[in-house]
Amino acid sequence: MTVPLAPGVQHLLGTVVFLGPSTAVVHRAACPPELAALLAAYGYRVIPLPPDEELLVRRGMNLLVLAPERVLMPAGCPGIRRTLERAGVAVDEIDVGAYLRAAGGIGCVTGVVRREH
């Protein structure tokens, strides 16, 4: 199935990040109805994030998934951190200020991480 991306979205990771086999976090304003329906059809629990400064400027959804429902995220996004922790996601933070100034984030500067379940 093809899912359109919202205007201004550069790639799928700007819309959805899969945190585990049945959990995904989504950029609420950039998640097209087709994607929301597809996630629901596959039984995903969706954690929506609002398009606020933490998401858009501080890139709080640019996460590195370390293990199922365990992420490394940019420091300085307390609202997103609270939302994830309330949903049962374990969160570690790191200062990525230099990468943000270069228009990047954690996901942009990491390669594939081997995960063992």
9-56 pLDDT tens trace: 777 888 999 999 999 999 999 999 999 999 999 999 999 999 999 998
Q: Is residue 51 part of a domain?
A: yes
**pLDDT (tens digit per residue) in 68-92:** 999 999 999 999 999 999 999 999 9
Return the pLDDT at 3: 83
35: part of which helix (H) or strand (E)?
A: helix 33-41
Q: Is residue 2 part of a domain?
A: no
Range of the domain at 103: 12-108
Beta bridge partners of 5: none
Q: How far is the CA of 104 from the CAs of 66, 107, 116, in angstroms? A: 19, 8, 27
Domain holding 86: CATH number? 3.75.10.10
**What is the DSSP track for 54-94?**
HHHTS-TT--EEEETTEEEEESS-HHHHHHHHHTT-EEEEE
Question: What mean pLDDT value characterizes the chain?
Answer: 87
27: part of which helix (H) or strand (E)?
A: strand 23-27
Domain count, the chain: 1
